[in-house]
Every structure is written in structure tokens, then in C-alpha cells.
Structure 1
Amino acid sequence: MKAAILKSLGQPLAIERIPAPEIGTGEVIVDVIAAPVLSYANEVFSGERRYSMELPIVPGCGAIGRVRASGPDATHLKNGDWVFCDPTVRSRDDALMPDITLQGWSARSEGGLRLQRYFHDGPFAEMIRVPTENAIGIGNIDPEEAARWCALNVMLVPYGGLLAASFEAGETLLVSGATGNFGSACVAVAIAMGARCVIAPGRNERALDDLRRRFGNRVQTVPLSGDEERDRERMRCAAPAPIDCVIDLLPPSAPTTAVRAALMTVRPYGRVVLMGGVGMLGGDGLDLPYPWIMRNDITVRGKWMYPPVAATRMTGLIRSGLLDLGHFDVAAFALDEANEAVAHAAANGGPFRMTVIRP
């Protein structure tokens, strides 16, 4: 089969033919129809993001495809079924503390690297081999819509944070990093989940205007000045009710002061979820006042990715019409154009914009 291969950091992807994956017990082979190219893929492939991956590797993170073959442990999947290939692969030998790798993308801990050595290659290829539980049925779709269904990959990340926060309909949410790729997706998901209001701070006023246009008064935007105290007060004042939950999705380049300004808007007994990249490239740590957390009974937790059931639930939100994939504009590239796709994704990232490879 044909694949795009990252052989060394800082070098272009090599488009070559490699052996097709062979199915094993507890696995599914999927024909890749569309694979998203994340806006920061160039930073991963250059080594700037310092992700743990062993080269050479067929990269990518998640895909939409059709089942080619499944093993005897698959009791529902049939050949030809449309599936989302969930990149979040968990080890099966420790239910309490499973190791995790993002197939074709990065690993967490030494155990995650060991897992990556087996579930190694990602979806920048004509076929991918995934664990059975990672081939998640999405029902019949128009093949022309496969690229747009790649939006699952972006929306599932903030959805995982909202599930971790036990976010409920009628609550008020603040999205720190709302004008970014994941942040804007979080706004859309929270609205679909029944948020009373989403507070969307950011520096990109064009992106803020776009959020207002798409979602109306249920989104209250706040242009940021960079002054921590002033920005915090403006975010609080924009909310029609106390802020129940704050989710941070800021990138590694953001300062910790911007994170803290947003997090400390949450009401007493509120919840804070950290999902962004701040600190991954070094710099100051996040300094939150101990007395504020303790005396206000604030819950602060980190969340990486999302639970296994999330893709099925999100598919339900889409099928119900609550979550509209039509928000996303898609630029599609052939597999032979993988390097062009990576460059395009870097130059055209931002709210509701996707770059997709169609093998």
C-alpha cells in the first residue's frame, strides 16, 4: 500500500509503498478514506513539540474509514462499515492505570512507547490497523462527507474535558483559548450540550466576531488586553450568571498569566479542566493561589483526550442535529500531496478550518 512516512524529524514526509498491515487477534483493518492533518503537525514533524515517537513512522492522528477486515472478537462490525479510527490506544493489561499512546502521533510514558511500538503507524496511508475497540461505528455516510466527519477528531478533545467536568445543560462555561482550533470546537460542542452561555475570550477579534455570528447571544465574546486582572474582571462581567466551569485549551505559546486570568473567573464550588499545551515548551509553571482553591472549594483537574464512549455519544449529537458538521470548511489533499497538506494546515489553522488527506 502507499503511505506517507516520517523518517527523521525536520525532513519532508516520504511517499512510498510499504507492506499492508496484517490483522491480528483483537484488531481491525480499515481502509482510510479521510485523515485530518492537525494545524500543528509541522511542529510535531520538526521536533519542536518534543512528542515521544519512534521513527520511522506513518504519522497522523485519527481517521474516517471503512472496515476491510475484523477478527473473531468483533461481534458488531461488518466489512464495509463506516468507522471513526480513534487514535487513543489504551493498554489492556491494567484497567486502573492503562498506558496510552496516540497511534501515529505520540506516547505518554515508557509504557505508552511500548504500546506505540506495536500500534505504531497512523492513518497517512491507504490502510490502518487498529484495536477492535478503536474502530467505532458512525453509521452510513455519504463518501463525499467523510472528510467533514474528520471534525470528530477535533471536537472529541474538548468533549472529553466537558465530560470530565460533568458539564450539564443550563450551565455557564468559559473556554480559555476559544479562538483556536480546539477552543472554537469546544464552543460548538458546549452549545450542542445545552450550555446556557459560553464565554469566549481571545485576542483574534475576527475569530470572536465569527463565533458571535455562528452562535448568537449564547456566546459572549471578550477581547483580551493582556492585563491579567483587567481581563479576569471583563470575563466575569460578560457572563450572565456565575461561571460554573472553565476549560483551558491554550497552545504551548500562551503565557501562564492568560491561563490564570481565565481559570480564576470560576465561581466557588466550580470546576476547572486543563487540556492545553501551556508549559510543554518550558517557561513558568501555573501558579494558582492555594487559599483560593481551598476556601472556594474549587476542583482543578487535568484531562488528556477523552473516554472510549465519547465518540459514540458525539456521533449521537451529530445525528440528532444538535451538532452541525457544516460549521467546518475542509481542504482536501491526495496522499501524494501529504507535505503540501501539512504546510496548508499550518498556514490555515484556526476556527472551523480543517485540512484532510484522502488516500
Structure 2
Amino acid sequence: MKAWQIERLGGATAFNEVPMPEPRAGSVVVRIEASALMSYLKDYVDGKLPVYDPPEGWFTPGGNAVGTVHAVGRDVWHIHPGQRVFVSSHVVADECVSEPAQILQGVTAMGAPGKPLRQDWRDGTLAQYVLVPKLSVTPLDGLDGFDAAQLAVLTRFAVPYGGLLRGRLTAGETLIVTGATGAYGGAAILLALALGAGCVVAAGRNQRKLESITRAGGSRVVPVILSGDIDNDAERLRAAAGGGADIAFDMVGGARDPNATLAALRALRREGRLVLMGSMSVPLPISYMDVMMNSLEVIGQFMYPHDVYRKLVTLVRSGQLDIRAIRPRTFLLDDIAKAMDAAAEASALECAVVTPT
């Protein structure tokens, strides 16, 4: 089969002919139809993100994807050839231990415990076929009206769903989303509305992009343009939230200052929750006394539970979540360079998707 591979981060890349993967116990071979690109894939491939720990030697990168089951191994009971599935790159060892190893397949290991797991599931989805653990696939039954490229945008919703679950969002609550104009921030707004949020305050610095996500979300979305002044922004966020929000959901990627996050934290009601799912290159200076006196929670969340795509499929099938609000921009695998550029530049309502043929 054909696969796009990299020698190492910052090293050579090539389209290689590689052996077809063979199923083994507890695994599924999926024929890829559409793979959603990470917004940072170009920087990752160029070696600009040294925090990542990829497989050793030549490997196929890639993230989440849609495809059709080609073959299954022993001990796979409910997935069958010919079934359309979603493939998640987030792999957690299925052993009953307190801290199971985890990886992003075809991307990185998470710490030393993940290294052996990473080498066992080393290749990602930027190929014609991929071998994945059975826990990584979710049937897409009942979604025949969507093509593969549109279904691939489900990946945008999975990460914020993990944070909204961890933050215990309930119907009628008010949510502030910082980084609202980013890939995951925009999806977080649409998903929160589907889950019943009473009001979503969309916070960002780009007025045009905020207007776009506000139109997509409708009347329950209130935009706030951030100035960078913590006190002023906190006051405006609190006012937009009707006196304070129940949850602040931080999805700012690569933040160079903590101002937006701190403004959102200060705009919380008593007993509010701050969920951190973005990234920041500087420390986050939180006031001990403010957190204690206001009974606030600060929650870090990485990725999502393994059944999150099943939950998303249920929301889409019921009509509560319209994934068509995010438009896929489709590229052939041969155009991977253009696809990576598009992924880096994509708005909150766009997603770069690669198809093998």
C-alpha cells in the first residue's frame, strides 16, 4: 500500500510503498477514506515541537480518520469487515492499573510508560490502510447521509467534549470559551449548545472570526472581543455571562501570556469551574486566595474518554449537533504539503481533510 512517511521530526519525508498491515489479536485494519489533519502537523513534521516523542525510525504520522473496516483480528466481537467507523488516535492501554500508558498513535508517546505502547502502534492514518486497537474504532451506523470528509470533522468535537464532560457542563449553564475562534474553541461552542448550555460567551481577539462563530451558533452565543487587559476583560466577560459564568473553558493554543485565561477565571461565579485544555508557554499565576474564597475549581484535562465518539455519533444522529457547521477542505494525500498549510490556517469553521485517492 501507499503511505506518507517521515524519517524523524525535522527529517526527510517520502511517499513509500509499505506492506499492508495484518490484523492481530484485539486489532482492526481500516481502509482510510478521510483523515483530519492536526492544525500543528506542519510544525510537528518540521521538528518545531520538541515536546513530542514520536516513533523511532520511519513511520506514518496522522490523527483521527474515517474509514471502512477491512479486516479484524481475534478477540474482536462487535466490529466487522465492511462497517464504516471512526478511528481515534488516542490510545490508552486497556489494563486495570491506576495510570495506564497512553499515546497519540502516529504522533507521540505520553511519558516513559507510553514508549512501548507507541512502538507497538507506531503508524498513523496518512496511508491507505491503518492497523489500530479495537478500542480506537467507533461504528458510524446511521450516518449514511454524511460523506467521509464531513464525518472526519467529528475530530474537532472530541477534544472539547472531553473537557465539557470533565467540567460537568449541565443544561442551562453559562459557559465562557476563550480561544473561541480557534479550531477546538469554535467546536466547543457548537458542542456546548448541543449539550444544552443556556449561554456561551465566545471570547477572542479577532472580531471578524468572532462574528462568524456567533452566526453559526445563534442567539445563545454572545461575543466578547478581548483587549488583553485582565481587569477590563474580566468585567466584560462577567457582564456578558449575566453576572458570572458557571464554567470557563480555555482552548487557547500556544498562549504567550495568561491574560485571557485569568480574565475568564475572574469572570466565574462562586463555585465556578475553569477547564484547561489549551496550551501556554508561560506560567499561569493563579491567586490562591481568590480560588479558595470563591470555592473555584481549576481542572486540567487531556483528550477524552474512549467512548466519546459514540456519544458524538448519538448527538449527530439525533439532530442535536449539526457537524455541517464545520466545512471540510479536502486534499489528496499527494497534496499533503498544501493540506498541512491549510490545516495551519483553517478557521474555527474549517477543517483540512486528506483522502488517500
Smaller-chain TM-score bracket? over 0.9
Displacement of 1:343: 2.0
Displacement of 1:95: 3.4
The residue that corresponds to 1:16 in the other structure is 16
The residue that corresponds to 1:138 in the other structure is 140
Preserved CA contact (<8 Å) 1:155 1:182? yes
After the TM superposition, which residues 41-80 of structure 1 pair with which residues of structure 2 at under 5 Å, given as runs?
41-50=41-50, 51-54=52-55, 55-80=57-82
| TM-score using structure 2 length | 0.95
Provide, for residues 200-243 of structure 1, a one-character-per-residue CA deviation record: whole Å limited to 9, x for no partner: 11111111111221122200100111111111111111113531
Aligned partner of residue 109 in structure 1, secondary structure: coil
Aligned partner of residue 164 in structure 2, secondary structure: helix
Provide, for residues 311-354 of structure 1, a one-character-per-residue CA deviation record: whole Å limited to 9, x for no partner: 101110011111111111111111222222112222x3121111
Provide, for residues 244-272 of structure 1, a one-character-per-residue CA deviation record: whole Å limited to 9, x for no partner: 01111111144112221122211111111
After the TM superposition, which residues 226-305 of structure 1 pair with which residues of structure 2 at under 5 Å, given as runs?
226-279=228-281, 284-305=282-303
Aligned partner of residue 114 in structure 2, secondary structure: helix
Identity of aligned residues (%): 36
After the TM superposition, which residues 151-166 of structure 1 pair with which residues of structure 2 at under 5 Å, given as runs?
151-166=153-168
Matched, 1:200 2:202: yes
After the TM superposition, which residues 334-345 of structure 1 pair with which residues of structure 2 at under 5 Å, given as runs?
334-345=332-343
Preserved CA contact (<8 Å) 1:81 1:140? no
Aligned-CA RMSD value = 1.5
2:118 and 2:9 map into 1 onto residues whose CA distance is: 17
Matched, 1:353 2:350: yes
Provide, for residues 45-91 of structure 1, a one-character-per-residue CA deviation record: whole Å limited to 9, x for no partner: 11222211134220111110111111232221111101111111011
Moved more, 162-171 or 65-74: 65-74
1:232 and 1:342 map into 2 onto residues whose CA distance is: 35
2:137 and 2:131 map into 1 onto residues whose CA distance is: 9
1:162 and 1:201 map into 2 onto residues whose CA distance is: 17
After the TM superposition, which residues 95-110 of structure 1 pair with which residues of structure 2 at under 5 Å, given as runs?
95-110=97-112
Preserved CA contact (<8 Å) 1:82 1:141? no
Q: 1:111 aligns with which of 93, 110, 113?
A: 113
Aligned partner of residue 268 in structure 1, secondary structure: strand
How many pairs does the alignment contain?
A: 354
The residue that corresponds to 2:324 in the other structure is 326
1:241 and 1:257 map into 2 onto residues whose CA distance is: 20
The residue that corresponds to 1:168 in the other structure is 170
Preserved CA contact (<8 Å) 1:200 1:222? yes
Letter in 2 for 1:121: D
1:4 and 1:143 map into 2 onto residues whose CA distance is: 30
Letter in 1 for 2:139: G
Letter in 1 for 2:349: F
**Structure 1 segments unaligned to the other structure (5+ residues):** none
The residue that corresponds to 1:308 in the other structure is 306
Preserved CA contact (<8 Å) 1:13 1:339? no
Preserved CA contact (<8 Å) 1:13 1:338? no
Displacement of 1:22: 1.5
Matched, 1:31 2:31: yes
Preserved CA contact (<8 Å) 1:28 1:131? yes
Aligned partner of residue 113 in structure 2, secondary structure: helix
| TM-score using structure 1 length | 0.95
